[in-house]
C-alpha cells in the first residue's frame, strides 16, 4: 500500500512537507486552491493505477471500507468508486431514505445530483490521466468533472456501506438537496 500526503506549495504548509521528509514519507506539493487538481496531479506523478482521495478533514476512514472500494473497482472495472452516504438535515435527522448504490449513477450525476461521498473516492489511472479540473467550475469542480466523465461513458460504482452522513443545507452547490 502506498500512501502519499498531498499538500500545497504554500509556505504555510512547509511544516507538513518537513514532517513527511523527516519520516521518509511520500508527499506531493500542488495547488493550494484546487485540492481536486492537486490530487489528480499527485496520482500522475506517482503513476498509480488506482488511487483513493481521502480529504484532510476526514482522515479516519475505515481501512476495510477502502479495501472494499478497491475490490469493487477491480471486479467491475470501474473508473470511479465511492461509498454510500446518508443525507441528514441541519438538525442531523434523516433527510430522506436513499441508498445511492441502488440508483442510476450516470443519470443522477447528469441531473446535478452528487451521489459520491467526497471524503473518499477511488479513481482509475485512465480517469486520472484523462480528466482535468477547470478552475472556473469552483465550487462545483467535483460534480462538473464527474458530469463530463458520465457524458464520456465512464463506469461508476458505489459501495453499499455508508462512509458518512452528509448534512444538507440551503447553500448546497448540488441539486441533491432538492430531492
Most confident of 22-26, 53-57, 63-67: 22-26
Q: Is the pLDDT of residue 19 over 90?
A: yes
Residue 98 has a pLDDT of 55
Residue 6 has a pLDDT of 92
Backbone angles phi, psi at 50, to 5 degrees: -145, 150
Chain segment 81-137, per-residue pLDDT in tens: 887 766 667 777 766 555 656 677 788 888 887 777 666 788 888 887 788 778 788
Chain segment 43-52, per-residue pLDDT in tens: 889 988 888 8
Residue 117 has a pLDDT of 66
Q: Is the pLDDT of residue 20 over 80?
A: yes
- Would you report the helix, strand and coil content of the chain in percent, each value rounded to 5? 40, 25, 35
**Residue 63 buriedness (CB in 10 A; 0-12 / 13-18 / 19+):** exposed
| CA nearest neighbour of 176 among 67, 101, 95 | 95
Residue 7 has a pLDDT of 93
> How much of the chain, in percent, has pLDDT values that exceed 90?
16
Q: Is the pLDDT of residue 59 over 80?
A: no
What is the average per-residue pLDDT within 4-8? 92
More confidently predicted of 123 and 173 = 123
The pTM of the full predicted model, rounded to 2 decimals, is 0.70
User: Between vectors from CA 174 to CA 173 and to CA 177, what angle results, nearest 5°?
Assistant: 105
- The pairing of strands 120-124 and 156-167 is unpaired
Amino acid at each position: 500500500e502506498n500512501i502519499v500526503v498531498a499538500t500545497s506549495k504554500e509556505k504555510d504548509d512547509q511544516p507538513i512537507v518537513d514532517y513527511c521528509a523527516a519520516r521518509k514519507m511520500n508527499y506531493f506539493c500542488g495547488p493550494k486552491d484546487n485540492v481536486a487538481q492537486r490530487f489528480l496531479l499527485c496520482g500522475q506523478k506517482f503513476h498509480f493505477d488506482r488511487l483513493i482521495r481521502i480529504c484532510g478533514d476526514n482522515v479516519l476512514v475505515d481501512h476495510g471500507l477502502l479495501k472494499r472500494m478497491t475490490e469493487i473497482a477491480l471486479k467491475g472495472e470501474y473508473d470511479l468508486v465511492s461509498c454510500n452516504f446518508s443525507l441528514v438535515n441541519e438538525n442531523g435527522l434523516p433527510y430522506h431514505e436513499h441508498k445511492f448504490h441502488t440508483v442510476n449513477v450516470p443519470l443522477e450525476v447528469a441531473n446535478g445530483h452528487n451521489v459520491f461521498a467526497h471524503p473518499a473516492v477511488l479513481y482509475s489511472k485512465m480517469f486520472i490521466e484523462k480528466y482535468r479540473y477547470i478552475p472556473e467550475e469552483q465550487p462545483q469542480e467535483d460534480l462538473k468533472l464527474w458530469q463530463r466523465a458520465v457524458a464520456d461513458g465512464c463506469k461508476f460504482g458505489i459501495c453499499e456501506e455508508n462512509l458518512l452522513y452528509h448534512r444538507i443545507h440551503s447553500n448546497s452547490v448540488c441539486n441533491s438537496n432538492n430531492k
